[in-house]
Amino acid sequence: MLRKDSSVYRLISRVADEFLGAERSYIREFNVMVLEYPGISRH
């Protein structure tokens, strides 16, 4: 397991934070695209 004080752990944490931030914005754009797309049934 990775130690919390290791540089590798900090690097992974930073990359994960950036990825999750990008993923959230992507999901938000995707939801808007789906809602605006005609013909998709809303459940």
Q: How far, in Å, CA of 7 to CA of 2, rounded? A: 10
**Alpha-carbon distance 14 to 20, whole Å?**
10
What are the residues whose beta carbons fall under 8 Å from the beta carbon of 34, sequence distance 6 or more? Answer: 40
Q: Enumerate the domain spans of the chain.
A: 1-36
The pTM score is 0.39
Contact 10, 16 (CB under 8 A): no
- Tens of pLDDT along the chain (43 residues)? 666 678 888 888 888 888 887 777 777 888 787 777 666 555 5
